[in-house]
Structure 1
Amino acid sequence: MAFEALGELLDDSLRLPVGNRTYTVPAPSAEVGLRTQALINAAAVAADGGAVDEQVLSDAAERDLYRDVLGPAHDQMVADGVSWPALKHCAITAMVWIAQDKAAAERFWHSAGDPSRLAPNRQARRSRSGGANSTKRPGSTSGTSTRPATTRGKPQGKRRP
């Protein structure tokens, strides 16, 4: 089996519908992809209270990040007068696509950036999975039993008055 051309295997763009228009975000360069991945990892570490590499989260590293991840779609959105919340949602969706994959980006897109819509709450997860129930587990079926506990210490005999 020979390798197929990578361009035929990968869908290297993201199409984001905003208003009456669909913007195409091309795959980023390796440099932008690596920087985006580093920023997302650093943000996750910071959110967990860990020590963050200051150089990764510097203003210079963050400058023009939205423009970089959206590529030419950024300038098209600005020229079309797209609102700031919409542009920001598109850029973060593109960052999720770059750092993870298209399926994760679609989940983020459909959550409208609301984390509570992204991950269902515990009760909803349990109701889908069957969750905990009140049925007791059966005992061992190995056919062996444990010995009764013995008392330790002095043997039990008659008590002296």
Structure 2
Amino acid sequence: MAFEALDELLDESLELPVAGRLYTVPAPSAEIGLRTQALINAAAVAADGGRADEQVLGDAAERDLYRDVLGPAHDQMIADGVKWPALKHCAITAMVWIAQDKQAAERYWNAAGDPSRLAPNRAARRNRSGAASSTPSRGSTSGTRTRPAPARGKGKKDRKPH
């Protein structure tokens, strides 16, 4: 078995529909991908209450990260007059794609960036799955039973053997 050409195996672009137009975000360079990954990891550490690498966050702030992750789609969006919330959503979607994968980016995009829509609560998942909400859980099938607790107030010598 031989390795197939990698460029034929990977889907190296992201198609984002905005205001009736489809913008193509090409795969970033390795440098941009590594920087984006480092930034997202630092942000996750900070969000969890840890100490983020300030150099990583500072470097990212000095550069135009949105322009980098969107590539030529950034300038096209600006020329087309795309509004800031849409451009920001596109850029963060591209960052999710770079740091994770296309499926994670699609979930983020379709949730409109709302974290509560990314991880629906248990009841919503249950309702979507079609499972009955009042199905009782099955009891133990191990064939064993627990011993009844001794009656209160009786000592060990007063207990009956089992």
Question: Identity over aligned residues, as a percent?
Answer: 75
Partner of 1:54: 54
Distance 2:55 2:132 in 1: 44
Mark the structure with the bigger radius of gyration: 1
Alignment of structure 1 residues 5-154 onto 2, 5 Å: 5-58=5-58, 60-62=59-61, 63-128=63-128, 130=131, 135=136, 137-139=138-140, 141-142=142-143
Distance 1:7 1:40 in 2: 26
Q: Counterpart amino acid of 2:139?
A: P
Q: CA deviation at 1:120?
A: 0.9
Q: CA deviation at 1:96?
A: 0.6
> Could you list the runs of 5+ residues in structure 1 that have no partner in the other structure?
157-161
CA, structure 1 residues 136+91, in 2 after alignment: closer, same or farther (shift >3 Å)?
closer
Secondary structure of residue in 2 paired with 1:17: strand
Give 4+ residue runs of structure 1 displaced > 2 Å after superposition: 125-142, 144-153
CA, structure 1 residues 30+124, in 2 after alignment: closer, same or farther (shift >3 Å)?
same
Partner of 1:159: none
CA, structure 1 residues 50+149, in 2 after alignment: closer, same or farther (shift >3 Å)?
same
> Could you list the runs of 5+ residues in structure 2 that have no partner in the other structure?
none
Q: Counterpart amino acid of 2:42?
A: A
Count of aligned residue pairs for this structure pair: 153
Q: CA deviation at 1:127?
A: 3.7
What's the TM-score, normalizing by structure 2?
0.81
CA, structure 1 residues 30+152, in 2 after alignment: closer, same or farther (shift >3 Å)?
farther
Higher share in helix: 2
CA, structure 1 residues 136+72, in 2 after alignment: closer, same or farther (shift >3 Å)?
closer
CA, structure 1 residues 133+37, in 2 after alignment: closer, same or farther (shift >3 Å)?
same
Distance 2:140 2:122 in 1: 29
CA, structure 1 residues 125+145, in 2 after alignment: closer, same or farther (shift >3 Å)?
closer
Q: Counterpart amino acid of 2:25?
A: V
